[in-house]
Structure formats: structure tokens, C-alpha cells
Structure 1
Amino acid sequence: MKNQFDQKWLDEVAVVALGCSLPGSYPSREALLDAAIGAIEAGDLKVVGRSSWWASAAWPDPTAPAYRNGVVLVETPLPASEILARLHRIETHFGRVRIDSNAPRTLDLDLIAQGRTVTEVGLVLPHPRAHERLFVMGPLAEISPEWRHPVSGRTAADLAAAATVGSDAAPDIAKT
């Protein structure tokens, strides 16, 4: 789905990155990610933009199962801390076990940004490394190339072009 959104509205929306390298009980990674989007939408989180699925090698160990990644834009009245708590509950529901931060996993949901700034204690938003990751910025640029990073002010399209982590990431044309 390709959409253009007004910058003022983008300053309010939450950006959520999805990824997985293991399908769990689903027939494919894409089916698991589609189900995760359904779980995200089951509450006060309204998905209003969705990228295609992107493929990338596992990082930092490219011999591990490959990833599928995407991004959704979410409208919600909830504070960032509650969004993050819901994302973690969804991960757990889908079988996520947190052993090693870079281990293969059934589901990884990251709150990349919510609006322009977050002042909640204990939260670091925007996500401190998302701007370096093509598998995040590429899908975001696909649906909203003019989205601006809350700190640097650079667009998603610029950040995708400059990303250094996951530089092999690309839309998975075989699955989209």
C-alpha cells in the first residue's frame, strides 16, 4: 500500500516496525506478520498505513534464517509506554522468547517513533538505531517518504538511502 500523508499528521502518528525470521505455527513469515498486524489493530491502535514485506539477511549472523520486515503507521490516543507494552504482549502471544537480542525470533515489534518527541521516563524515542537500518527506513520510505525523523529532521527517503545496517534489504517481490 503506498500512501502520502500530511506532515502535520505524520507528526502525531506512531511508527511501528515488524520483523520475524521464524514463522512459528504459521505457514510462512508473511502469514505471521499479517496476523500480527491483525493483533495490533485489535485495540486502540488503528493501522492507517502499511508497507510491503521486505526481505533481508539475518544480522549480525547472515547464516541464521532470513528476515521479513515491514512498517505500519498507527493512529492511537495511547501514550508511548502503553503502545510499547501492547507490542510486547503481542510478541509474547506470538511466541517471542527474549534470549539474545539478535537471535532468530518469531516476532519483533519495535516502536520507532510516536509523533515528534516523547518525554516519558524510561522510553527512548525515536528508536536510537532505526535510522541506520534499511529494513526499517526502506519500508517507511515506501509508504511515507516525507516522514521526518524527530531528531535529525531527515526524511525517511533520505535515511533509507543512507542506511548502513541491513543494506541488502529490499521489497520481497515474490511475496508481495
Structure 2
Amino acid sequence: MKNQFDQNWLDQAVVVALGCSLPGSYPSREALLEAALIALASEGLEMARRSTWWTSAAWPDPTAPAYLNGVVLVETEASASEVLAALHRIETRFARVRGEANAPRTLDLDLIAHGRAVLDGAVVVPHPRAHERLFVMGPLAQIAPDWRHPVDGRTAVDMAATATVGTDAAPLADIAKL
């Protein structure tokens, strides 16, 4: 596991966002996301660093169950399309049902970035809306503040500061202090 990251390593990192609003068959959303972290390794995605869990109101309907989110940096030799396929397999194992956009769900895994790759085909990286979402950029800034967006070059810290979606997102540890 990496404890210190140089910019070269960060430039190669695969960034995955995890989220859920429903615990499914698990006792809690936290338990579900912890199990999802274990499932990453079963797909050849070695976790190098993870954020704490962040909570935020559901979007765009704040009356829906709140979300729990986090970000992991993984190491893998897999291509972006192979990583995305692995993420979809894991979602299926966790009873993810794709239907209405932004509906409550048991597990949502998003490929945020695959190194410095910029792809706009069957697989799109970097994720086209991640930079707008505090529940993605906040956790990413927590574990890799100097990570830079492959297209515009802004750091995770800069994007967290200017995020416009999920602006109520906060680490669970901070929520407990209130």
C-alpha cells in the first residue's frame, strides 16, 4: 500500500468513487461500502489509499435517503474499459438495479479517472461531472490533494472548493462532532 504519493504516481492512479443510499442486505450503508472495498480486490483492483466516508443529501431529491460516498485510489494493469466492466460486475453482485437516473441505490461505482487518459467513447474518462461534485472531490482531496484533472489541470483541492453539486457533503467524522 502506498503511503506517500509523488506526482508521477498520482498521474497514473485509477480513481474510483463509491456511493450508496440503501444498505441492501447489509446492516448499514457503511457495512455495504466496506464490503465493496473488499470486492475491488477480487477484481484485481488493489486499493492504494481510501478516503473516509462522506455523507450528503440525495440529489436532486433531498427527501430521498441520504448518500454515503468515498473515493479510492487503486493500482491495476487493467485498461479503462476493463476497470469499468469490473465495477459493473461488483455493482451487480451488490444488487444494483439500473433504472431511473439519480434514484436511491445499493451501490454506485464510478470510474473517475484512469491515469491521465482522456477517452470519449464507450468509456468516458475523466468522469464528465465528477469535478462538480463535492461528494467526489472532497474525498479525493482528502487522500490526494495534489491529484490533477487530466483535462483542465486543476487539483482535487481546487475542484472541491468550487464544486456546485452536493455542497452539503461532509466526512462522517465531522458530522459526529456537531
Instruction: Establish whether TM, by shorter chain, passes 0.5.
Output: yes
Unaligned regions of 5+ residues in structure 2, if any?
A: none
Quote the offset at 1:120 in angstroms.
7.4
User: Do residues 151 (structure 1) and 151 (structure 2) align?
Assistant: yes
Normalized against structure 1, the TM-score is what?
Answer: 0.95
Residue 101 of structure 1, CA deviation: 1.6
After superposition, give the CA deviation of every residue in 1:79-132 in whole Å (9 maximum; x if it has no partner): 000000000010010010001121000000000001111447422110000000
Q: Is the 8 A contact 2:43 2:86 kept in 1?
A: no
SS in 1 for 2:102: coil
Secondary structure at 1:88 match in 2: helix
Structure 2 counterparts to residues 4-83 of structure 1, below 5 A: 4-83=4-83
**Counterpart of 1:137?**
137
For residues 126 and 119 of structure 1, the distance between their equivalents in structure 2, rounded to whole angstroms, comes to 7
Amino acid at match of 1:96: R
CA distance in 2, matches of 1:88, 1:11: 24
Aligned to 2:94: 94
Amino-acid identity (%): 73
Compared CA separation, residues 161 and 94, structure 1 to 2 (3 A): same
TM-superposition CA deviations, 1:124-151 (whole Å, max 9, x none) = 1100000000000000000000000000
Q: Could you tell me how far 1:41 is from its partner in structure 2?
A: 1.1
RMSD: 1.6
SS in 1 for 2:85: helix
Aligned length: 174
More helix by share: 2
Return structure 1 stretches of 4+ with deviation > 4 angstroms: none
